[in-house]
Structure 1
Amino acid sequence: MQVVTAQRRDLTEVFTGLRPRQFQRLVRAVHRNGGRALDPDRPGRPWALALEDRVLLVAMYCRTNLTMRQLAPLFGISPAAVGRIISRHGPLLALAPGKRKPGRHQVLIVDGTLVPTRDRTVSASSKNYRYSANLQVLIKADTRVVLAVGRPLPGNRNDCTAFAESGIKDACGTATVLADGGYQGTGVLMPHRRQAGQDRLPDWKEQHNTSHRRVRARVEHAFARMKNWKILRDCRLKGDGVFWATSGVAHMHNLALSH
């Protein structure tokens, strides 16, 4: 017996963090990205759940980080079927790349976040004392909307290296990009630093740093909201799973910001 279903609109926000209208936008995005090839009327063995319920299952998995054995009885299917749905549909929730690269009139913010993951091939022991992957995230400064998520790198890589290797640098286009002091040599705007022999910065540099911190804090707010999807606190997926999970959460984060 299926306990959780997309037909129960009152459960959508509880289990996904999205209001019903936002959840329907997610379903339509999955349908466009390849979900229509997964419809029951297509040739082959049909799925046990409708497309809406499959999207709900993946979104709920990201939101709650329940195991497949815990999700299975809620949807009235086997743990193996839950695993197949997550594996097949997870990438379809990913954030779509922008049709145009940001222009020079835009202001963006970049920063990295550590996502703990069980897969040692994409992680390393990090400053959070866990095996984690470094995910670079690029957001719009004015709206906090996530524009891009970089490919995962081991968590012991510094941000200036990850900026180029993850692909985030290419996603910046010609926009003005703000970052913290860990992005030296990347060409982004960083806070002023004291030179050798300087006791303090000039007042005008201190004012610039204050403004810079105030704006750059928005990416930290975005991370805090994204980590309400608990899969980013302990990702059990292997291989590209940590990337698809982070990108899917970024997509849902953007939908949650919309009206």
Structure 2
Amino acid sequence: MSGVITAAEPSWIAPFTGLSPRCFRKLVTVLRREGADAVRKGRPWSLPLEDRALLVAAYWRTNLTMRQLAPLFGVSKSAADRIIDHLGPMLALQPRKRFAKDAVLIVDGTLVPTRDHAIAEQSKNYRYSTNHQVVIDADTRLVVVIGRPMPGNRNDCKAWEESGAKAAVGRTLTIADGGYPGTGLVTPHRRRKGEDLPDWKKAHNKSHKRVRARVEHVFARMKTWKILRDCRLKGDGVHHAMLGIARMHNLALAG
């Protein structure tokens, strides 16, 4: 069975990965170096590594079912499923372990509708969702840390700590919105009842909001990947998808 989509045709790469063919080839080289193409026991892969990476990206981008996706790459439904399970975790973004002394980070939580009720809960959007704490570098807008997915009914204060994002950031200066009171993060000034904020606090809040909006722009780009609008993956699948998409975002941004 021959497929329609292949990485051998460069025109397919950008629509599904957001990367230039040159950048995609670099990614494949790194994956190969990390052992993604190592010889394994049993049946060999039916697709080369380049096409397997493209298949995973196409699944995250389109959220097609295996029955719909597999024929496009000329493989069986079960083969497509195995490729995603194997390569998805290997495409995951590795959290940054060290930060410059003058680094400024921004954190915010985003909800991903998730069908696996073992890890998701009904959230404010009335859907079963997972809460993902995403940390970006304020200067470069690159994603540096994504916490473990928390149930969607968990508020950002708790998710920030319980997801591991707080520990990953350490003492690095981090900006957040008003949903993180008492966390030690840099949050907007709050007006007390019956009082007005002084002008300097209003100016600070305005500047804070302008900088913090950068993480919202990152969310807007990441949510173009349809898997983050309705994730059917179970267990760690939603976490791997979030990390993989963050890695693609960083690669596309860095060029």
Class of the TM-score when normalised by the shorter of the 2 chains: over 0.9
TM-score (ref. length: structure 2)? 0.96
Bigger shift: 125-134 or 100-109? 100-109
TM-score (ref. length: structure 1)? 0.95
CA displacement 1:70-114 (0-9 Å, x = unmatched): 11111111101100100111100000222x422431000000000
1:206 correspondence with 2:206 = no
Does the CA-based 8 Å contact 1:103-1:173 persist in structure 2?
Answer: no
Opposite residue 13 of structure 1, the aligned amino acid is A
Does the CA-based 8 Å contact 2:95-2:146 persist in structure 1?
Answer: no
Match of residue 93 from structure 2: 95
Superposition RMSD in Å: 1.2
Match of residue 78 from structure 2: 80
Opposite residue 26 of structure 1, the aligned amino acid is L
Does the CA-based 8 Å contact 2:176-2:185 persist in structure 1?
Answer: yes
**1:1-259 equivalent positions in 2, closer than 5 A:** 1-37=2-38, 39=39, 42-98=40-96, 100-198=97-195, 200-259=196-255
Q: What is the distance in 1 between the residues matched to 2:27 and 2:153? A: 33
Deviation at 1:137, TM superposition (A): 0.4
Does the CA-based 8 Å contact 1:3-1:75 persist in structure 2?
Answer: yes
Q: What is the distance in 2 between the residues matched to 1:33 and 1:217? A: 35
Q: What is the distance in 2 between the residues matched to 1:170 and 1:34? A: 29
Bigger shift: 222-231 or 205-214? 222-231
Q: What is the distance in 2 between the residues matched to 1:170 and 1:43? A: 38
Does the CA-based 8 Å contact 2:105-2:174 persist in structure 1?
Answer: yes
Deviation at 1:231, TM superposition (A): 0.7
CA displacement 1:23-50 (0-9 Å, x = unmatched): 122212322333032x5xx553211000
Instruction: Report the secondary structure of 1:104's partner residue.
Output: coil
Opposite residue 2 of structure 1, the aligned amino acid is G
Q: What is the distance in 2 between the residues matched to 1:5 and 1:195? A: 59
Deviation at 1:68, TM superposition (A): 0.6
Instruction: Report the secondary structure of 1:122's partner residue.
Output: coil
For structure 2, the residue ranges without an aligned partner over 5 or more in a row are none
Q: What is the distance in 2 between the residues matched to 1:171 and 1:224? A: 24
CA displacement 1:205-227 (0-9 Å, x = unmatched): 00000000000000000000011
Instruction: Report the secondary structure of 1:254's partner residue.
Output: helix
Bigger shift: 171-180 or 54-63? 171-180
Give me the identity figure in percent: 63
Number of aligned residue pairs: give it: 254
Opposite residue 58 of structure 1, the aligned amino acid is V
Q: What is the distance in 2 between the residues matched to 1:32 and 1:235? A: 29
